[in-house]
Amino acid sequence: MTWCNRRALLVVAAILAVPPSGSVRAQPTRTGSSFVVRHARVFDGEQVRPDTNVVVDAGIVRVVDRQIPDRWRNLPVVDGTGATLLPGLIDAHTHTRRVSQLQDALRFGVTTVLDMWSPEGDRVLREAAAHRTDVSDFRSSSILATVPGGHGTEYGIPIPTVSGADAATAFVAARAAEGADYLKIVLNGVRARTNGTPTMDAETARALVEAAHARGLLVVAHIENLNDVRIAVSSGVDGLAHIWREGGEAPDVARLLTERRVFVVPTLAVPDGFVPDAGATLAADSRLKPFLSADLVRHMNGLERSPSTPVLRNIDSFITAVRSLVRAGTTLLAGTDPPNATVVHGASLHRELELLVESGLTPAQALTAATKSTADIFHLNDRGRIVPGRRADLLLVRGDPTRDITATRDIIHVWRSGVEFDRTTMPR
């Protein structure tokens, strides 16, 4: 929950208004869960397939080819000429509290969110995601693992903490009982140095990782500085949440992460949100604006900042740090960390993709970071790619985002499990 203040945590998710008449450029195709997208440029999660047809039947991708088998020739047709079909995007770092936020995400093509701290596993959200196709799918770490008084305890929400290595096994068992899909641990070295917030020691971190791995759970570590990174890696974590805030380029650390196969979710959208007008610029994008409620625009414009929210001139040091990861070949995943600063569910992932490209990824690599890579790492084996047998979580956009990453914002259709989401509907 990087940089997130209590007020931001408790902000009520926006109730999206129906856009004004004439502002919506694509109406739902009403094809149900069986249809054919014809003559699209297909980015399958790894590579581009020009002028390709994709057959979806009963919510599953059946064919990805230039030819359509006879048995599916009578299905409803979606014309993909001049457009690109993508796997549904996956946001690898959110804090999701309300079903309406899952709709906010889906509205902008994010078909799965990976929550990085939910009280008691957020059963309401799990229930909605399991039984509805008008919300993004939902996975969660349940309650984060932090020490007494550590980051995560400052928001006025009583949570269990980990007092030491001997408490690790019981803590992980409790999270598993809540249905946690992975574990998140907290190393808050910057807070420890600047305001004395307690942070986790290496022994406790290692015990948590070992207990989680024994249960088959991935472990993601919240980190703030390079020392946190070294502790996390030596403890055996699978991935890092956030890029380090201090130190900029760190090729030795980047090589270490690559050698240990530790992935990183940089969440560049968060520091970017501390730069004046960054969120407002995103909210003003004509491809996004018609689908943003007044409340979401208010948040993106920074009108809900607390007096303690930092202000940055730029995020050059963060970009430089991520570039060192790109050069080292570290696996990067796309995540945004709402509701921090000006960050919101759905729309902000499109800015994160742009920032990953600014950091040295090609547009295609950035798209992989938001689709196949995240699905593979988090064992979401039914999504993340457009190949036969995968779930039809799909996004059709105008133009070619493998050349211009901002084309992901120009959405024509969004499908979850083959059912199209009406982007003009009110959340419920």
**What's the pLDDT tens digit per position in 29-49?**
444 699 999 999 999 999 999
pLDDT for res 307? 76
Reported as a pLDDT band with limits 50, 70 and 90, residue 2 is very low
Q: What is the mean pLDDT of residues 248-275?
A: 97
* Residue 333 predicted with pLDDT over 80: yes
Answer whether 205's CB lies under 8 Å from 187's CB. Answer: yes
Question: CA 268, 274, 277, 282 torsion: positive or negative?
Answer: positive
Using the predicted structure, report yes or no on whether residue 362 has a pLDDT greater than 80.
yes
pLDDT given for residue 368 in this prediction:
98
What pLDDT score was predicted for residue 428?
52
Contact (Cβ atoms closer than 8 angstroms) between residue 133 and residue 159: no
27 exposure class (CB count in 10 Å sphere: 0-12, 13-18, 19+): exposed
pLDDT in tens, 72-124: 999 999 999 999 999 999 999 999 999 999 999 999 999 999 999 987 658 89
Residue 313 token pair: 């001139």
Using the predicted structure, report yes or no on whether residue 4 has a pLDDT greater than 70.
no
Fold classification of 6-420 (topology level): TIM Barrel (3.20.20)
Q: How confident is the model at residue 27 (pLDDT cuts 50, 70, 90)?
A: very low
Residue 21 has pLDDT above 70, yes or no: no
Q: Quick one: tokens of 224? A: 């703030």
Which amino acid is residue 154, in one-letter code? E
Weakest mean pLDDT among 281-285, 299-303, 373-377: 299-303
For 105, phi and psi rounded to 5 degrees?
A: -65, -50
In order, the DSSP letters of 65-130 are ESS--GGGTTS-EEE-TTEEEEEPEEEEEE----HHHHHHHHHTTEEEEEES--GGG-HHHHHHHH
pLDDT tens across 159-218, in order? Answer: 999 999 999 999 999 999 999 999 999 999 999 999 999 999 999 999 999 999 999 999
Does residue 306 carry a pLDDT above 80? no
Sheet holding 89-94, edge to edge: 89-94, 110-115, 137-140
CA-nearest of 244, 254, 249 to 223 is 244
Averaged pLDDT of the chain? 91
Which range (119-128, 143-152, 260-269) has the least confidence? 119-128
